[in-house]
Amino acid sequence: MTNPDSFRSRVPGDSGRSRAAADSAENDERERPLVRDEDGYFSTAPTVERAVLVGVEIRDHPGLLPLSDSLDELELLADTAGIAVVGTLTQKLDSPHPATLLGSGKVEELKSLVIELGANAVILDDELSPRQQRELEEIMGEEIKVIDRTALILDIFASHARTREGAVQVELAQYEYRLPRLTNAWTHLARQAGGRAGGASGGVGVRGPGETQLEVDRREIDRRIAFLKRELADIQKQRRQHREQRRKSETPVVAIVGYTNAGKSTLLNALSGADVRAEDRLFATLDPTTRRVTLPSGQPALVTDTVGFIQKLPTMLVASFRATLEEVTEADLLVHVVDIAHANMEEQIAAVEEVLEQIGAGDKPVITALNKLDSVDRDDDTVAQRLDDAEAEYPNAVLISARTGEGLDQLTSMLDEALRKRMLHIDILVPYAQSEVVSLVHENGFLDLEEHTSEGTHLVGWVPLKLAGRIAEFQLPGHEGRIDQ
């Protein structure tokens, strides 16, 4: 019997190449590599994939982005995954073809193009149903990989996961994505697993009586999924405990959200001196990072950098990352970072708002950080107009450059002000015998005055509203405990 723990995501159709490329450079930095492989899988030289991109526009259901922009984005995704794009094909349809997405004539055209360009993969800009995936694979033939946007994003996520939680989440999502897409053609799966486990070649020894190879494959994947789910539940229990502790401390939490590549990590680094990897590529960040930042008033805040969003982000992927995204849903305040230099700025904002709705964070207070101010020409009238419009249209907008630091003072003042709404002004006298109350204020609030009198410690400042009950008895007469609005 194959040990499920030794069974890995070497599923046919897996574009493990990009992961392998990333792994050699970045392996050292991971808490735990995604794929535990002893038999040299990663050491094989990466084969360059040459892909044709395919986009479909459904007449009555246009996407958020115009087709050509969506394909440009897909090309960036392919590039991030290390795939060379050698051609593009598009089709406008009244409705998607249930069997092949594209119309049959277009599928033939695609096949000819793939042969003509010497491509070995096609990447669909939309998610394929299991049936469409199967049919297209059959038509394209064994040598041509059929990948869709979701599979590509999963592949990128897999290579960018730095923590065990990130890695397990991605691997689980990959299996759940692939399970309904397994075909009879993918039969070497269990042979490999069986070979490793028992030293036997072929399916002999791993198959049950009367079982097809496909059933064996499914069973293996089911087992791996169950194993990963258990592992993830353990990791997430720890994360929840962490979060509980944080909540007890009452330090406000700010989550940085935004479209991928908007500058979220750069902003966290600028605010906190963190060294989160910031790169000009999509989905550089997968795992959340939290840093303590002291705002201008002295108020502390925990600021979290999160995974970027993208248009056409499948619900299944959002669901897979729900635990990580709890960092967003549990935050007191969001900073939505927007790349103002991007031509699709508005659509990107809309895509982010859509995902925020999906994860139940649609009604959180938001500050919109219009980023990359240094990279636009403000003297250009059109640009100036665009910036004015954006500042007027989006909630609590502020123009910043996370790179040069411009506007960050204003942003942090806005954070201060927004978080102040959750704070209670205090003017208290705490007897020395109750020094734990002073510690509580120090830990969670911030002070304008602290003096030691004959009767105790006199403190003037701010504490989170939730501590109102703890300090009420110490408020000095005449102080109402006002909430600053």
Our finding on whether 338 is near ligand GTP (CB under 6 A) is no
Among the listed residues 278, 355, 419, 438, the single contact to ligand GTP using CB under 6 A: 278
Of 484, 475, 465, 322, nearest to 418 (Cα)? 484
Q: Which two tokens stand for residue 348?
A: 């990107």
Q: Report the candidate in 258, 273, 439 with the shortest Cα–Cα distance to residue 354.
A: 258
How far apart CA 394 and CA 373 sit, in angstroms, is 16
**Candidate residues 100, 132, 213, 265; the one interacting with ligand GTP per rule CB under 6 A:** 265
C-alpha distances in Å from residue 295, one per residue of 16, 45, 201, 408, 409: 43, 49, 63, 11, 9
Q: Does residue 266 touch Mg ion according to CB under 5 A?
A: no
Q: Which does 270 bind (CB under 5 to 8 A by kind): ligand GTP, Mg ion, none?
A: none
Closest CA to 307 of 333, 327, 280: 327
Q: Does 260 bind ligand GTP (CB under 6 A)?
A: yes
What's the DSSP call for residue 14? -
Among 251, 285, 371, 444, binds Mg ion (CB under 5 A): 285
Token duo for residue 231: 């592992």
Pairing between β-strand 145-148 and β-strand 423-430 as defined by DSSP bridges = unpaired
Residue 120 is a binding residue for ligand GTP (CB under 6 A): no
Task: Report the residue number, 366 or 430, with the smaller CB distance to ligand GTP.
Answer: 366
Question: Interface with ligand GTP includes 375 (CB under 6 A)?
Answer: yes
Choice from 374, 391, 416, 417 touching ligand GTP (CB under 6 A): 374
**Residue 311 binds to Mg ion (criterion: CB under 5 A):** no
Q: Is 284 in the site for Mg ion (CB under 5 A)?
A: yes
Residue 284 touching ligand GTP (CB under 6 A): yes
Distance in Å, CB of 26 to ligand GTP, minimum: 14
From Mg ion, ligand GTP, none, which one binds at residue 279 (CB under 5 to 8 Å depending on kind)? ligand GTP
Give me the residue whose beta carbon is nearest to Mg ion: 285
- Closest among 66, 121, 126, 71 to 95, alpha carbons compared: 126
Of 288-317, which residues contact ligand GTP (CB under 6 A)?
A: 308
Euclidean distance between CA atoms 279 and 282, whole angstroms: 8
Q: Please calculate the CA angle 187-190-192 and round it to the nearest 5 degrees.
A: 100
Residue 50 to residues 57, 115, 410: CA-CA distances in angstroms? 23, 11, 46
CB of 399 to ligand GTP, least distance (A): 10
Measured from the CB of residue 41, what is the shortest distance to ligand GTP in angstroms?
26
The footprint of Mg ion on residues 332-361 (CB under 5 A) is none
Stretch that binds ligand GTP, among 16-24, 264-272, 346-354, 379-387 (CB under 6 A): 264-272
CB of 83 to ligand GTP, least distance (A): 17
Please give the radius of gyration of the chain, using alpha carbons only, rounded to the nearest integer.
27
Binding residues (CB under 6 A) for ligand GTP: these are 258, 260-266, 278-280, 282-285, 308, 371-372, 374-375, 401-403
